[in-house]
Structure formats: structure tokens, C-alpha cells
Amino acid sequence: MTWLQNALAFLVTLGILVTIHEFGHYIVARWCGVKVLRFSLGMGKVIYSRRLGKDQTEWAISLLPLGGYVKMLDAREMGAEKIAPDELSREFCQQSVWKRIAIVAAGPIANFLLAIFLYTALFVHGVPEPVAKVRVGSTSSVAYKAGLRYGDLVTAVNGEQVQSWTEFRWKMLQAGVNRRNPVLEVQRAGTREISGNTPISVEISLQQLSSKEADNDILQHLGLNLAGSTEVILDGFLPDSPAQRAGLQAGDRILEIDHKPLLDIIDFRQIVNASADKPLKLLIERKNNKFEVEVTPVSQEVNGQTVGLMKVTYKPMVPEMTVVQAGLLQAFAKSVEKTWDTSIFSLKMMGKMLTGSVSLKNITGPLTIADYAGQTSRIGMVVYLGFIAVISISLGVMNLLPIPVLDGGHLLYYSLEVLTGKPLQDRYVEMGQRAGFFLLLTMMAIAFFNDIARLMS
């Protein structure tokens, strides 16, 4: 029933975002004196409605739960001759260009305000996050060569404080997009620096990465991952497990392989995968007793490669956690900064897609959003609200793009009207609408293709 939960979480997310977006248009239209005829959640045929208020605005729920709209008194749709003379002053096109700009811009702005509100509430409440302890890959990785080591705690990136793994990853993504070498301040266990106030400074060169590597999952290409618990504790066995045949039991802790101490589960898995049909000596700890056991991983074909398997399960690799929390004013300031940074980052990524330096595979559609909505809702309300904030920012940015049929396209028309002193001719508006609709359909097709490719893989 995972798909059903994903669908419900997606519809709730979409309902919240569309309601806030359209309410932005609605409330500013009312402030500007424009008459609102209908406020609809969903598109297509109205299945329920109720008229409220002095203007008898129709509040409706429509058949297709994808989107929504605010229908205002507009001579372009209904014809000026059908509007009562005493209501002409409340018609949308009769308003000054600045009022029209305010009404159109209010939708995306409402999405940004929602994100700021949610982030502020989350920061005040406190958000559980993994600490920014890094797991450095092989000695040939960029991060290792730069001087980072397993278990280093990152406290700042380019002089900006880091409180969690999420903040660290975000600042690294920004550094990658801006092509700016990140300078990390780290505390290292077992050094004097961790007990004092002088962190170790490590500069990572991005020159070895291509533009696409730096813009996408930069941490992976640098050889960095989140460090978790260092213990490798067996939890169970799969059928025909060579480890079980060798006498290992659930709860056994693996300390070394071939007299080499293990870093964590990932290190254990990599060594075993590279040792198909080769005997390995494991140092085991069981109930405070230590002893050696020889196990030979069986050979098996996985994704076209031959790897070694012990056919065991282990207790999950749990990262060290912290709670990111702030007072109301500080939380609000952090929320505004986060919303602004995310918006700028999104625009930069879109620009790089247009120039070809970032793959169009980064465009996601409703299937991926529904999947993430379901995943975050299962994790907990804090994570789910953070997801809604991110999508709200994306919706705001998307709607501000200067594409006809979107809010940004209308803002482009009104900006030209400000510059020229007269509205754009109808034939140019119509041409723009057709081009914008085609572009939007193309983007949707790419998004659906990427979604299906992700699901199939």
C-alpha cells in the first residue's frame, strides 16, 4: 500500500501549496479592489461549490486535483459588454499596471512566505539532524588527498558555521555550482585541536571535477559520505550463508578483517565484495570474548559484476545526531536566508541546464515528488514539513520564470507595459501563450520521462 500513501501525501502536499499560492492571488486582488468570481481547488468540472461574502465569490472544489485557480472579473474572458457598468472599475484589466503586477506576483510570494513560516516553526521546534561527520572514501579520493580523514567533524564551510550534515551538504552544493573551492574547518578526534579552539583548515580543490560532477552530487565525486556508527554487528543470516556455516552468530561484532581494523559497515562490505572465493580471517567479539574465524565469501553475479558475499545482515549504521534549534528571531533570519539561497540555487541550476553544463535528468516530475512526499511523511512530521517547504520554494521559483502561461510570463508582459507605456498587442500575447504552452508541455514530458526512468532503475 506504499503507492497509496505516496498518492495521499502528494495530494495533501499539492493541496497545501496550491491553496497558499492561489490565496496569495485572491487576497491581493481583493486588496486592489478586483472582484473575484471563483476560488477553485483543482481544475476542470466543479464538483462542489458554495458562494460566500458580499461579492458571492464561489468557493469550489473541481474534479482534477492537480492545481487550482482564481477567476477574477476579466473583460478578456467574458467580454466588456457583459460586465455591469457599476462593476467595470473592479475589472482586472482596468487596474493600474502596478496593481496587476502585485496580484500576479502574490502567488509565488505566498509560496516563499509559506516556506519561511515552515522553516521558522521547524527551527524553533528543533530539527533532529545527523552531525557533519564525514566518511572519507579511498586514499585516492579528492577529499583524502586534500587532507580530510574518516570521522572529521566539519564545523564551517568558507567561514560559515555548519551545525548539521544537511547544512554541510547544502554549502558544498553551493560551492560546486559557484565553482568556488570550499575551505572546511574540521575538528579531528585524537588531536589537540578538538579540545581547543583551533580547528584544522582543509581546502578542497574542485578543479579535478567536471562541471557536471561539481553541479550534481558533489560529495560523491569528492569521495565523501556521512559517517555512521563504526561497529559492525551481525543481525542475521540469509540462506546458505558462509558466515553462518563458519560458526558466526547474530550479535557477533566484527573487529578486524585479515588483521586490519574495520572502519564501518561500508568498509566491511567493500572488502567482502572484493574477496570472492578468497578466505578472510575475521576477528570476532562475542560476550567480551575475542576469537578468529575464517570465512570464504561466495562468488555471485550482481549487476553484471562478480562480487563476494557472506550473506549476512547487520544492525543499521546509525549516524551521530544533533538538534538544530534557534530562538524565534534567529530562526526567522535563518529561514529567510535558507529560502533565498534555495531560490538562487534553483535558478542557477536551471541556467546551467539551459547551457548544457547540467543534465536535464535533474528535472523531476510529479511521480518523484509523490515518492518523496510518501517517504518523508513516513519518517515523521518534521521531515515532511521540511519537504513541503522545499517544494513550495520550487513552485514559487518555477512560477516566476518568464514563460507565458505562468505568472512570470504575465509579469514579463506587464514589465514591458511599464517600459513602453502601453499594453502588449493581443497577437503577441497569443503567440507567447502558444510558445509558453509548448515549452511547458516539453518540460513536463522530460520530467515524466525522468520519473519513469528513476522508477525503472
Q: What is the mean pLDDT of residues 429-454?
A: 83
pLDDT above 80 for 295: yes
User: What number does CATH give the domain 130-225?
Assistant: 2.30.42.10
Residue 213: what pLDDT? 59
pLDDT above 80 for 195: no
Task: Report how far residue 260's alpha carbon sits from residue 281's, in angstroms, rounded to the nearest whole number.
Answer: 10
More confident residue, 363 or 306: 306
CA distances (Å), 445 to each of 366, 394, 403, 439, 442, in order? 11, 18, 16, 10, 5
Average pLDDT, the chain: 88
Beta-carbon contacts of 67 under 8 Å, excluding residues fewer than 6 positions away, are 14, 18, 42, 43
Task: Report how far residue 127's alpha carbon sits from residue 232's, in angstroms, rounded to the nearest whole number.
Answer: 28
Residues 366-400 have pLDDT tens digits of 778 888 888 888 888 999 999 999 999 999 999 99
Q: Among candidates 268, 270, 269, 278, which has minimal Cα distance to 299?
A: 278
Task: Report how far residue 378's alpha carbon sits from residue 5's, in angstroms, rounded to the nearest whole number.
Answer: 9
CATH architecture of 234-314: Roll (2.30)
pTM, full prediction: 0.80
Q: Among candidates 211, 221, 226, which has minimal Cα distance to 264?
A: 226
Q: Where in the chain do CATH 2.30.42.10 domains reside?
A: 130-225, 234-314
CB < 8 Å & 24+ apart, contacts of 212-221:
212/357, 212/358, 212/359, 214/176, 214/177, 214/179, 215/176, 215/177, 215/349, 215/352, 215/357, 215/358, 216/358, 216/359, 216/362, 218/172, 218/173, 218/175, 218/176, 219/169, 219/172, 221/142
- Name the CA dihedral angle for 423, 426, 429, 433, rounded to a multiple of 10 degrees: 150
C-alpha cell at 306: 562478480
Q: Is residue 22 among the annotated active site residues?
A: yes
Of residues 22, 91, 129, 167, which has the active-site annotation?
22
